[in-house]
């Protein structure tokens, strides 16, 4: 059979159409005979005249089917819409046949019982459609023998999922196994010939039908469901792809439409919603300064701020190219005055001059060295920039009587195990000391800090590193199997920081409810799967990407924390933002400690600088607050 079909496939298209027309002639003649048999309730034996009348039916129907494009379709790709084309052609052919029969009846030939045309119409339509679907299955079997189709399961049975199913049915290289959807109203239904199953049957379906790929329709599957899906398929070699939303379009090769990984895909939680009132209050109509404006957090802060109608935005950064890039990207907001300032936060003259010249009202201090191993190898530079840079900006803000000063801190400031974390803890202490500094004016600024975990997509974070390693074919490097981290999106972080400026009551450290910490190995595995690839390990030696454990880096913690003591954390008006209970830091004591640290840095004494840095943090932990 396979060899016969292969020869038929190789024939010229004209000959194949003639063969199909001959087969259809026989099918329609058979359908008419069955119609007569059904009508008379016994096998019908036509006479010579009746045979001529019956032969007229397919002779009339075939040309009409040609006019309706029935023979232009490629059988391997026919779909259910073909049935409608057959029905329309038969609806024209049967009445024409009756007209011809009536004309012959007036010449003495036998007529046709009135029920025959209706039976013939239905039976002919069904048999022609069945012939094409049977031929499609046989032909696909020939091609499948050469290249087995990929068995695919669609997660999400609405919107893009339904359109994708229609596309897959026309693709000989793909075979749709089933749908999975969390909507109880859809479960058990058939869509495009595939059954809709509940999410808890996902793993069973993969095992039972040897599913090779799961395509997630991102416009219909919530992030929590995607996280549960990942937990179910852990340990399998099934690939995961994401179909963009219908609005984004998905023309072309399905395999090329895997979109970038998003927060909800990796973390299993939606982004924290922002409060519009909290966002606009510290920004609208004000002059705002962002230090480190060209960095990952600083640049996103600037993008958020310009949409909130400030009067003026001061972009402060030491990196010339980064400053140029962020200013260029914001120039479309013509109603906002942009002022790029090239300088270091450790340069007291430049910082003070900036405050005096522009009448700054709100400050977001994002400038810092954040890469843990790099700061660990450059202790003095890290202290100078992160600690004394914070002091310089905070002092200038205090003297300029700005309304609000917000420090961008890190979860690494909690029980710091590295220089970067210790400098961030120092920065928080400095901010709180300025909050308690003796007030000369009643309108002294409100000082606060915002502490959060890792930011997905920021410079130096693990997600861009993993994406780069996956793009190169691996391996994906992991420092420790047990390592966990808190994560948030850059947009989430920027919105939280801006809202903190409104919530601040002076001296606050704000924390975000970031859900559960994420295991870095799980993150790496999910990113591999979300890239449409498979994990290579001992159980799956033929996988695409390997994960390699390389050992922890200097100063790296296995787990991070958001606060010292949960009892020291209280709620705010925002459901996902928490406030650490205040601890009063004496401004004079902090100045004294800083003098010793400054002397060690100026003398180039790393050992002394490190000792003072950690000693002060250890003293802070004896009476911990958040």
Q: What is the pLDDT of residues 63-111, one digit of tens each?
A: 988 888 777 766 666 667 778 888 888 999 888 988 888 777 644 445 6
- Specify whether 186 is located in the same domain as 240: yes
Residue with tokens 């975990």, as numbered in its chain: 453
**Residue that terminates a domain, selected from 146, 177, 207:** 146
CA distances from 612 to 394, 583, 592, 593, 597 (A): 21, 21, 11, 8, 6
Q: What is the pLDDT of residues 217-255, one digit of tens each?
A: 765 566 667 667 777 777 677 877 777 544 444 444 433
- Specify whether 498 is located in the same domain as 414: yes
How many folded domains does the chain comprise?
A: 3
Q: What is the pLDDT of residues 507-557, one digit of tens each?
A: 788 877 666 777 888 888 878 877 767 788 877 787 888 888 887 766 666
CA dihedral sign, ordered 75, 78, 80, 81: negative
Q: Is the pLDDT of residue 259 over 50?
A: no
What's the burial of 334, exposed, middle or buried (CB within 10 Å: 0-12/13-18/19+)? exposed
Instruction: Give the pLDDT confidence score for residue 108 in this predicted structure.
Output: 43
Element (H, E) at 197: strand 194-197
Task: Check: CB of residue 500 under 8 Å from CB of residue 450.
Answer: yes
DSSP of 131-146: HHHHHHHHHHHHHHHH
- Whole-angstrom distance, CA of residue 151 vs CA of residue 233: 16
330: β partners = none
Q: What is the CATH number of the domain that holds 301?
A: 3.40.50.720
Contacts of 433 (CB under 8 A, 6+ apart): 585, 586, 587, 589, 590, 591
Q: Cα angle vertex 423, ends 421, 425, to 5°? A: 70
Neighbouring C-alpha atoms within 13 Å toward the C-beta of 27: 20
Could you give the residue ranges of the DSSP H alpha helices within 400-455?
419-435
Here the tokens at position 247 are: 């609005």
CA distances from 173 to 38, 170, 299, 384 (A): 42, 9, 45, 60
Q: Is residue 367 part of a domain?
A: yes
Q: Is the pLDDT of residue 216 over 80?
A: yes
- Specify whether 85 is located in the same domain as 229: no
Instruction: Give the pLDDT confidence score for residue 5 in this predicted structure.
Output: 54
Residue span of the structural domain in which 401 resides: 276-454+487-514+561-621
- Specify whether 378 is located in the same domain as 358: yes
Q: Is the pLDDT of residue 622 over 70?
A: no
- Specify whether 394 is located in the same domain as 408: yes
Instruction: Give the pLDDT confidence score for residue 312 in this predicted structure.
Output: 92
- Whole-angstrom distance, CA of residue 267 vs CA of residue 288: 32
Q: Kindly report the average pLDDT of the chain as a whole number.
A: 79
Task: Check: CB of residue 503 under 8 Å from CB of residue 510.
Answer: yes
What confidence category does residue 256 fall into, taking pLDDT thresholds of 50, 70 and 90?
Answer: very low
Is the backbone of residue 389 left (phi > 0), alpha (psi -120 to 50) or beta?
alpha
- The reply to whether omega before 475 is within 30° of 0 (cis) is yes
- Specify whether 120 is located in the same domain as 188: no
Least confident among 30-34, 108-112, 205-209: 108-112
CA dihedral sign, ordered 556, 560, 564, 569: positive
* Main-chain phi, psi angles of 453, to 5 degrees: -85, -155
User: Can you tell me whether residue 20 is helix, strand or coil?
Assistant: helix
* Angle between helical axes of 202-209 and 223-233 (0-180°, round to 10): 40
Q: Is residue 475 part of a domain?
A: no
Instruction: Give the pLDDT confidence score for residue 412 in this predicted structure.
Output: 84
- Specify whether 325 is located in the same domain as 285: yes
Q: Cα angle vertex 113, ends 108, 115, to 5°? A: 155
- Specify whether 205 is located in the same domain as 74: no
Q: Is residue 323 part of a domain?
A: yes
Task: Check: CB of residue 178 under 8 Å from CB of residue 205.
Answer: yes
- Specify whether 133 is located in the same domain as 158: no
**Residue that terminates a domain, selected from 99, 127, 146:** 146
* Main-chain phi, psi angles of 502, to 5 degrees: -80, -35
Say if strands 508-512 and 518-519 run parallel, antiparallel, or are unpaired.
Answer: unpaired
Instruction: Give the pLDDT confidence score for residue 623 in this predicted structure.
Output: 46
Is the backbone of residue 153 left (phi > 0), alpha (psi -120 to 50) or beta?
beta
* Angle between helical axes of 116-146 and 48-67 (0-180°, round to 10): 60
Q: Is residue 112 part of a domain?
A: yes
Q: Is residue 471 part of a domain?
A: no
Least confident among 225-239, 468-482, 600-614: 225-239
Q: Is the pLDDT of residue 61 over 80?
A: yes
Q: Is residue 476 part of a domain?
A: no
What confidence category does residue 301 fall into, taking pLDDT thresholds of 50, 70 and 90?
Answer: very high
- Specify whether 160 is located in the same domain as 139: no
Closest by CA to 82, choosing from 34, 120, 130, is 130
Q: What mean pLDDT do residues 180-189 have?
A: 85
Task: Check: CB of residue 269 under 8 Å from CB of residue 512.
Answer: no
Q: Cα angle vertex 336, ends 335, 339, to 5°? A: 140
- Whole-angstrom distance, CA of residue 13 vs CA of residue 240: 39
**Residue that terminates a domain, selected from 195, 225, 259:** 259
Instruction: Give the pLDDT confidence score for residue 405 in this predicted structure.
Output: 93
Q: What is the pLDDT of residues 431-467, one digit of tens each?
A: 888 887 766 555 667 888 888 777 766 666 677 788 8
Instruction: Give the pLDDT confidence score for residue 352 in this predicted structure.
Output: 95
Integer-rounded Cα Rg, in Å, for the chain is 36
- Specify whether 369 is located in the same domain as 285: yes
Q: Is residue 267 part of a domain?
A: no
- Whole-angstrom distance, CA of residue 185 vs CA of residue 182: 9
Instruction: Give the pLDDT confidence score for residue 443 in this predicted structure.
Output: 65
Query: DSSP label at 323?
Result: H
Q: Is residue 10 part of a domain?
A: yes
Here the tokens at position 175 are: 């075979």
Neighbouring C-alpha atoms within 13 Å toward the C-beta of 250: 26
- Rounded to the nearest angstrom, the gap between the alpha carbon of residue 339 and the centroid of all alpha carbons in its chain is 34
- Whole-angstrom distance, CA of residue 496 vs CA of residue 274: 7
- Specify whether 192 is located in the same domain as 242: yes
- Rounded to the nearest angstrom, the gap between the alpha carbon of residue 582 and the centroid of all alpha carbons in its chain is 38
């Amino acid at each position: 059979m396979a060899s016969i079909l292969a020869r038929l496939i190789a024939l010229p298209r004209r000959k194949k159409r003639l063969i199909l027309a001959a087969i259809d002639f026989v099918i329609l003649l058979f359908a008419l005979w069955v119609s007569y048999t059904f009508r008379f309730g016994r096998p019908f034996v036509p006479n010579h005249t009746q045979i001529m009348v019956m032969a007229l039916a397919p002779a009339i129907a075939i040309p009409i089917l040609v006019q309706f494009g029935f023979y232009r379709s490629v059988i391997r790709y026919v779909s259910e819409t073909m049935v409608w084309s057959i029905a329309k052609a038969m609806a024209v052919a049967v009445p024409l046949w009756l007209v011809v029969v009536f004309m012959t009846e007036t010449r003495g030939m036998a007529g046709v019982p009135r029920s025959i045309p209706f039976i013939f119409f239905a039976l002919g339509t069904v048999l022609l459609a069945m012939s094409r679907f049977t031929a499609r299955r046989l032909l696909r079997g020939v091609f499948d023998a050469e290249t087995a189709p990929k068995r695919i399961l669609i997660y999400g049975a609405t919107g893009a999922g339904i359109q994708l199913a229609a596309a897959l049915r026309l693709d000989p290289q793909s075979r749709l196994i089933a749908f999975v959807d969390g909507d109880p109203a859809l479960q058990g239904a058939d869509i495009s010939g595939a059954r809709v199953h509940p999410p808890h049957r996902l793993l069973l379906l993969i095992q039972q039908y040897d599913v090779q790929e799961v395509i997630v329709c991102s416009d219909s599957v919530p992030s929590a469901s995607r996280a549960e899906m990942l937990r179910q398929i852990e340990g399998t070699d099934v690939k995961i792809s994401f179909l963009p939303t219908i609005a984004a379009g998905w023309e072309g090769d399905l395999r090329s439409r895997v979109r970038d990984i998003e927060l909800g895909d990796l973390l299993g939680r939606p982004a924290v919603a922002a409060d519009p009132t909290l966002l606009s209050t510290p920004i609208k109509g004000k002059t705002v300064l962002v230090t480190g404006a060209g960095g990952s957090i600083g640049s996103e802060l600037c993008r958020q701020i310009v949409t909130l109608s400030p009067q003026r935005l001061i972009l402060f950064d030491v990196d010339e190219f980064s400053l140029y890039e962020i200013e260029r990207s914001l120039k479309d907001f013509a109603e906002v005055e942009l002022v790029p300032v090239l300088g270091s936060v450790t340069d007291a003259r430049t910082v003070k001059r900036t405050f005096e010249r522009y009448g700054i009202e709100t400050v977001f201090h994002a400038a810092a060295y954040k890469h843990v191993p790099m700061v660990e190898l450059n202790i003095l530079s890290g202290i100078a920039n992160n600690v004394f840079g914070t002091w310089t900006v905070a002092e200038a803000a205090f003297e300029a009587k700005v309304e609000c000063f917000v420090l961008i801190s890190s979860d690494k400031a909690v029980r710091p195990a590295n220089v970067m974390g210790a400098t961030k803890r120092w920065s928080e202490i400095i901010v709180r000391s300025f909050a308690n500094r003796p007030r000369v004016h009643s309108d002294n600024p409100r000082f606060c800090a915002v502490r959060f975990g890792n930011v997905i997509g920021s410079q130096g974070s693990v997600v861009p590193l993993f994406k780069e390693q996956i793009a190169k074919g691996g391996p994906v490097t992991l420092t420790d199997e047990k390592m966990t981290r808190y994560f948030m999106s850059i947009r989430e972080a920027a919105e939280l920081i801006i809202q903190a400026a409104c919530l601040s009551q002076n001296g606050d450290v704000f924390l975000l409810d970031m859900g559960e910490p994420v295991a870095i190995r799980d993150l790496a595995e999910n990113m591999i799967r979300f890239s449409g690839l498979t994990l290579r390990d001992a159980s799956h030696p033929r996988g695409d990407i390997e994960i390699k454990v390389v050992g922890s880096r200097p100063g790296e913690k296995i787990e991070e924390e958001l606060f010292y003591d949960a009892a020291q954390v209280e709620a705010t008006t925002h459901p996902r933002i928490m406030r650490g209970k205040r601890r009063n830091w004496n401004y004079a004591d902090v100045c004294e400690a800083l003098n010793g640290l400054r002397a060690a840095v100026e003398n180039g004494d790393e050992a002394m600088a490190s000792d003072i840095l950690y000693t002060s943090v250890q003293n802070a932990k004896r009476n911990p607050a958040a």
